Structure 1
Amino acid sequence: MPDRTPKALRVAIAQHAPQLLVDFDRHWRRDIADAYDLAPVPAFMARWWGEFALARDPQLEARVHGLEDAADQEPDYARAKALIEEAGRLRRQAAKSEPGQ
């Protein structure tokens, strides 16, 4: 994982998960770039830190997306909820990655 700065994260996304770059840049321009208030930056970083952490592990990303897709198709509410909770747990776990890991 890169240093925990927007610039370092953008560089890492460009190098290792370029499929995320358009959305990252769009989100940055929309919510952060011209802001006079930096309050949204931590939420922005948390979201994209987690997205990058997931994208850099293709097997984990496929597992999470598979769980989310299965939940979308699951007719049983309790089973769908369990699938979404597991996907969320994996996303949170990936987002806990620290710089240098």
Structure 2
Amino acid sequence: MTTAPRPSRGVPPMPERSIAALRAAIAAHAPQLLDDFEANWRAKIADTYDIGAAPAFLARWWGEYALARDPELDRHVRDLEARAAQCTDPDKAKDLLEEASRIHHSVRRLGPGE
């Protein structure tokens, strides 16, 4: 079983698990995500009045923020994905994407304060 990677030194902790707290954390620590977060919020929830979509929205952006708040980990995952896209060996590309996927899934399991 893969455990969540330990954040690099100076990485802010995960916020309370709510959309408002996550938005505030994104604004403070990963502002490059804010426009996409807001656009996705409008498209999936605000403009549709579909509050049933809120758990999936929170899960997606929880993982996005968990990576973005740790530039070192984010670079590592993006590098794995880029290397897989350029790889001519299907088995190696699969291994690279599986490692990126494990990291994506592990950071989604982080709890508030981690």
TM-score > 0.5 by shorter chain = yes
Q: Which runs of 5+ in 2 are unaligned?
A: 1-13
2:77 matches 1:98? no
Would you say how many aligned residue pairs link Structure 1 and Structure 2?
A: 101
TM-score (norm 1): 0.96
d(CA) in 2 for partners of 1:33, 1:16: 24
Q: Return the structure number with greater relative CO, CA threshold 8 A, min gap 6.
A: 2
Aligned: 1:86 with 2:99: yes
SS in 2 for 1:4: coil
Written as runs of structure 1 = structure 2, the 5 A alignment for 1:32-43 is 32-43=45-56
**1:70, 1:36 → 2: CA distance?**
39
Matches within 5 A, 1:51-66: 51-66=64-79
Q: CA RMSD in A?
A: 0.9
Mark the runs of 5 or more structure 1 residues left unpaired by the alignment: none
Contact 2:44 2:50 survives alignment (8 Å): no
**SS class of match (1:32):** helix
8 A contact 1:54–1:95 mirrored in 2: no
User: What percentage of residue pairs aligned between the two structures are identical?
Assistant: 54
Per-residue deviation, residues 58-93 of structure 1 (Å, max 9, x unmatched):
111000000000000001111101100000101111
Q: Which has the higher helix share?
A: 1
Structure 2 distance, partners of 1:48, 1:64, is 16
